[in-house]
């Protein structure tokens, strides 16, 4: 089942004499259950794309369908409902509220969904268990490590049981151990909870946890690679494609992913 369709998407910022083309006739789709990475050089349009799918930004032309809904046709109220119920966001800016406990931070999105679901406690227990946060629920964000805070942000993104999770550089500020841990949890969400994940990343190691990578350059579709064997082999494919997209030659040596 198709969950995201990006159809001839174009985004131009600025005015007549200062036009910046961020997306240029970009089309692709994502099926339910995929874990897709979006990669490309700096300025390629990755964040613009994610922001449009998140409905934080709007395209100049083209359309985005999520779960059978054309976002470009929704009014403000419908878009707000879409953001609350259909998508979960894991962005680098965590936006955890320091005055609330971990438990309250995680369940906060449910207070915006009237009527509040009757199974809040069960949902909380489930996502806390999934992300290994059960022992931390009574703490406050300042009492956690960055990796733990990032997992709280992931739990908050999941509590509304969204069909689609959007992640923008979710491991960007983490050290490699915490990054690997978070990526393992995202993989678990994808495989065991059947969540569709779309993740923007610069980092080939992070991307190697996905099952498909779409590369964009200058706002347009460039190529994609799909995982078929080991994560190491997929990582090698990603590094090769990065070399190609950056116009360079082949890599000289293969770093290990583990």
Ligand X SMILES: Nc1ncnc2c1ncn2[C@@H]1O[C@H](COP(=O)(O)OP(=O)(O)OP(=O)(O)O)[C@@H](O)[C@H]1O
Where is 177: in which H helix or E strand?
A: helix 176-192
Q: How far is the CB of 169 from ligand X (least distance, A)?
A: 8
Q: How far is the CB of 243 from ligand X (least distance, A)?
A: 17
Stretch that binds ligand X, among 40-48, 122-130, 137-145, 179-187 (CB under 6 A): 40-48
Stretch that binds ligand X, among 39-47, 121-129, 149-157, 244-252 (CB under 6 A): 39-47
For residue 174, the 8-state DSSP code is S
Q: Which long-range CB contacts under 8 A does 189-192 form with residues at least 24 apart?
A: 189/130, 189/154, 189/158, 189/165, 190/33, 190/35
The only residue of 1, 16, 17, 42 in contact with ligand X, by rule CB under 6 A: 42
Residues 189, 208: Cα–Cα separation, whole Å: 16
Residue placing its CB nearer to ligand X in the complex, 124 or 197: 197
Q: Which residues is 65 bridged to in the sheet?
A: 5, 70
Residues 234, 236: Cα–Cα separation, whole Å: 5
Residue placing its CB nearer to ligand X in the complex, 6 or 130: 6
Residue placing its CB nearer to ligand X in the complex, 14 or 255: 14
Taking CB under 6 A as the rule, does residue 18 contact ligand X?
A: no
Q: How far is the CB of 143 from ligand X (least distance, A)?
A: 31
Residues 136, 147: Cα–Cα separation, whole Å: 13
Question: What tokens were used for 159?
Answer: 């509590």
Residue with tokens 């494919």: 237
Residue placing its CB nearer to ligand X in the complex, 9 or 124: 9
Taking CB under 6 A as the rule, does residue 44 contact ligand X?
A: yes
Restricted to residues 45-74, the positions that interact with ligand X (CB under 6 A) are 45-48
Residues lying near ligand X in the complex (CB under 6 A): 13-14, 20, 22, 40, 42-48
């Amino acid at each position: 089942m198709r969950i995201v369709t990006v159809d001839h998407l174009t985004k131009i910022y600025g005015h007549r004499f200062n036009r910046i083309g961020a997306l240029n006739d970009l089309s692709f789709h994502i099926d339910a259950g995929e874990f897709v990475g979006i990669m490309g050089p700096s300025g390629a349009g990755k964040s613009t794309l994610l922001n449009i799918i998140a409905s934080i930004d709007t395209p100049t032309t083209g359309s985005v369908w999520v779960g059978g809904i054309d976002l470009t046709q929704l009014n403000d109220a419908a878009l707000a409902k879409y953001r609350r119920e259909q998508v979960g966001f894991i962005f680098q800016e965590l936006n955890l509220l320091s005055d609330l406990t971990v438990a309250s931070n995680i369940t906060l999105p449910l207070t915006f969904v009237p009527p509040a679901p009757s199974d809040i406690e069960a949902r909380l227990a489930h996502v806390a268990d999934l992300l290994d946060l059960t022992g931390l629920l009574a703490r406050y964000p300042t009492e956690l490590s960055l990796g733990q805070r990032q997992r709280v942000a992931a739990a908050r993104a999941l509590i509304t049981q969204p069909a689609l999770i959007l992640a923008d550089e979710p491991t960007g500020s983490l050290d490699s151990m915490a990054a690997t841990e978070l990526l393992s949890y995202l993989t678990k969400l994808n495989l065991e909870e059947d969540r569709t994940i779309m993740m923007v990343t610069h980092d080939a190691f992070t991307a190697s946890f996905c099952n498909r990578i779409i590369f964009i350059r200058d706002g347009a579709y460039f190529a994609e690679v799909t995982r078929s064997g080991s994560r190491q082999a997929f990582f090698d494919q990603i590094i090769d494609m990065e070399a190609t997209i950056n116009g360079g030659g082949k890599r000289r040596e293969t770093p290990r992913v583990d």
